[in-house]
Chains A and B, each alone.
Chain A
Amino acid sequence: MSTPTTARTPARRPDSRLDVRKTYKLYIGGAFPRSESGRSYAVHSAPAARRAPRFLANAAQGSRKDVRDAVVAARGAFAGWAGATAYNRGQVLYRVAEVMEGRAEQLAAEVADAEGLTPARAQVVVSAAVDRWVWYAGWTDKLAQVLGGLNPVAGPYFDLSAPEPTGVVGILAPQGSTLLGLVSVIAPAICSGNTVVVATSEARPLPAVTLAECLATSDVPGGVVNLVTGRSVELAPTLASHRDINAIDLAGAADAVGVAWGDLEAAAADNLKRVLRPAGTGPAAVEPDWDDDPGLTRVRAFLETKTVWHPKGR
């Protein structure tokens, strides 16, 4: 009987270990489902410095029904999120920044692939995205003081105006800036208490899914942020025409395939959604420079002002 030879696995160098790849899914109501439609689409890296685009992953191709499910989740989360104290929302949003910082390496790798950036540039972008969360986390308990106040009416009345979130906001996320741009449209909407349904960048959806994982592990209640990957031409009109969405951000109409923002605005008029138009002049939509000081424009766009009168007297 001959000695059996054991099949020897060649020792791998650590960097050649076969990696375990991630399934990129939707983020709805705090869970990560696949599209109810069962569809997916191939996502490739952006061409960068003589490197040809390569296959990255199959992203879920969200459907109109997925958007509607996401709206239900967002509406369900609204009362709790808007009703939380501003201090509590600030703590939760700051926690998002902490978790993103911990995942900076992963986010930077995905941003580099998605946007065709050098690793160094991608790190700068991720840092800016983390800092932007911190900026908005600090706004939660200051908005009412900056945007509200006592009205000196000519009569014996106490008269106070204060901002309130407008409700569920549909967001067409920027097509180009996959993380800094994405954060720059989500954070201003939710810091005041809105909940959001986001149609992510069509061609570059992967960093958004990792951001969703940060949100899911940051005490952000499920349903406050919902992310749907897929075709803008399918998702955007559903957001614009949905009767239970109160406002829509059209930032991502710039460079979105098959999308005319004027049509979306017209559809939004049906239930008088508040519309934040894309940057640009005339019919042209351009993606803004997300490095610029954000100011308060995007926060203001999704606020109502409530004024309360009360008589004074013996």
Chain B
Amino acid sequence: MGKLEYAPAPESRAVVDLQASYGLFIGGEFVEGQGGSTFTTISPATEEVLAEVTEGSAADVDRAVRAARAAYRGMWGRMSGADRGKYLFRIARIMQERARELAVLETLDNGKPIKESRDVDVPLAAAHFFYHAGWADKLGYAGLGPSPRPVGVVGQVIPWNFPLLMLAWKIAPALACGNTVVLKPAETTPLTALLFAEICQQADLPAGVVNIVTGAGATGQALVEHPGIDKVAFTGSTSVGRQIARSIAGTRKRATLELGGKAANIVYDDAPIDQAVEGIVTGIFFNQGHVCCAGSRLLVQESVADEVVRRLKRRLETLRVGDPLDKNTDLGAINSAAQLERIRELTDIGEREGAERWSPACDLPSRGFWFPPTVFTGVAQAHTIAQQEVFGPVLSVLTFRTPQEAVAKANNTPYGLSAGVWSEKGSLILWTADQLRAGVVWANTFNRFDPTSPFGGYKESGYGREGGRHGLEGYVTTGGHP
């Protein structure tokens, strides 16, 4: 008997009300762009055009920054923390109320499986607002220093892999701490940010506190380089993060940067193998591997390597790749043609450099952007696929003999965002966690996120933390020496 067959279980699109075209959200209302140019956003699963979106010009960015400044100088800047909190509670509640709509829209625009947008992205985004709502009138307790004050106007640029969740990570703490924001969503996934703008309207959020300017790289650059912002918050690639760090050098702008990663997922020989295999799968195939903290390097102890790889391949045979709106889908579409091209390029290099490539048999849809789950074995540290971030469903398997070797290999990367450790021995897990130069270490689990838990990287994975008490630091100034 073959593997179990599933009947199609598509989530209805009826809950989403798409407009033909969208303006920019500036000063509390949707306005037309001043540059006159637009672009389309498509469903990566079908290449269907979903809507036309405004390409924000430098003039639009300027208008948005002015609106944010006016709101900061006006009502929002003078508002009590308790009242700011009430607005954030309202936003959290409306996000919960409109959760299904947000989830379907996210899946349409991004290509991720509906079960992930429904069960992870949207609930976490709402929870992020709920958590930070509570902080708004408690900042004095956060241990940040005496009388924490807002930074001012924050320019925020977010990626396409978790569009709404990254928006929540950026906007919730900024507003809780009393800042106002101009946010640029990613070029390929602007729709949930525009729906969020509507949620701000339903919450009666004062005009100008949140401004959403859609566009591509140039729009983001105009925002980052605008002299009217006090801080940049960016999530995206290390190369763009480096450009941002350069561009704000010599100014008084602050920055928090959440960049790329090449996480090691270390499996010791005493690990619970079945549990570890599930963790490896979650670690690299969650969200098609479009995850900066993905466990893209599996480091497995030599004595169990064959068994782990055998069981991993068996497990991958059961993954369901296809229609992101189907509730049984495990792997959705690659977000864009450009990203698909990059994944193909890097995996071809992987093969050329001598690693052994394997994918389960799976039928990929003929339209849209698709890539099968892929495992490379026999990977050496010098291989490109062990060094560069693929940002796709591609796992590189390396082996080690001793804990010291595992740690040395894990740390042998310019990145330092996250890591995983699998073992039944608590002391070994904690020793390993101590040695790892990474901002988040998951033990016997992977890809866990929570609004209370700080997230962010060491080294070239960026600086600053998002979430938790520590995430507030990036959005306040306090007394004392600078």
A residues adjacent to B (C-beta < 8 A): 86-87, 90-91, 94, 131, 134-135, 137-142, 145-146, 156, 158, 296, 310-314
List A contacts of B452 (CB < 8 A): 86-87, 141-142, 145
B198 at the interface (CB under 8 A from A): no
Whether the Cβ atoms of A145 and B427 lie closer than 8 Å is no
B82 at the interface (CB under 8 A from A): yes
What is the predominant secondary structure among interface residues of chain B facing chain A? helix
List B contacts of A142 (CB < 8 A): 134-135, 138, 141, 452, 469
Which residue on chain A has the smallest CB distance to residue B431? Answer: A312
B369 at the interface (CB under 8 A from A): no
A41 to chain B, nearest CB (A): 38
A178 to chain B, nearest CB (A): 23
B10 at the interface (CB under 8 A from A): no
List B contacts of A145 (CB < 8 A): 452, 468-469
Whether the Cβ atoms of A138 and B142 lie closer than 8 Å is no
- Whether A312 contacts B427 in the complex (CB less than 8 A), given A142-B469, A146-B141, A146-B469, comes out as yes
Question: CA A94 – CA B403 in complex, angstroms?
Answer: 47
Instruction: Please name 29 pairs of A and B residues whose Cβ atoms are closer than 8 Å in the assembled complex, sorted by A.
Output: A87-B451, A90-B131, A94-B89, A94-B130, A134-B82, A134-B85, A134-B89, A135-B137, A137-B134, A138-B133, A138-B135, A138-B136, A138-B138, A139-B134, A140-B134, A142-B135, A142-B138, A142-B141, A142-B452, A142-B469, A145-B468, A156-B431, A310-B427, A311-B430, A312-B427, A312-B431, A312-B434, A314-B427, A314-B431
Whether the Cβ atoms of A135 and B135 lie closer than 8 Å is no
What is the predominant secondary structure among interface residues of chain A facing chain B? mixed
B86 at the interface (CB under 8 A from A): yes
B residues adjacent to A (C-beta < 8 A): 82, 85-86, 89, 127, 130-131, 133-138, 141-143, 403, 426-428, 430-431, 434, 451-452, 468-469
List B contacts of A313 (CB < 8 A): 427-428, 431
Whether the Cβ atoms of A314 and B142 lie closer than 8 Å is no
B300 to chain A, nearest CB (A): 17
Whether the Cβ atoms of B468 and A138 lie closer than 8 Å is no
**CB < 8 Å neighbour of A135 from B82, B131, B426, B468:** B82
A161 to chain B, nearest CB (A): 15
Question: CA A94 – CA B86 in complex, angstroms?
Answer: 10
List A contacts of B426 (CB < 8 A): 310-311
Question: CA A288 – CA B431 in complex, angstroms?
Answer: 50
Whether the Cβ atoms of A138 and B141 lie closer than 8 Å is no
- List of 4 A-B pairs having minimum Cβ-Cβ separation, nearest first: A138-B134, A312-B430, A145-B469, A311-B427
Which residue on chain B has the smallest CB distance to residue A313? Answer: B427
B419 to chain A, nearest CB (A): 16
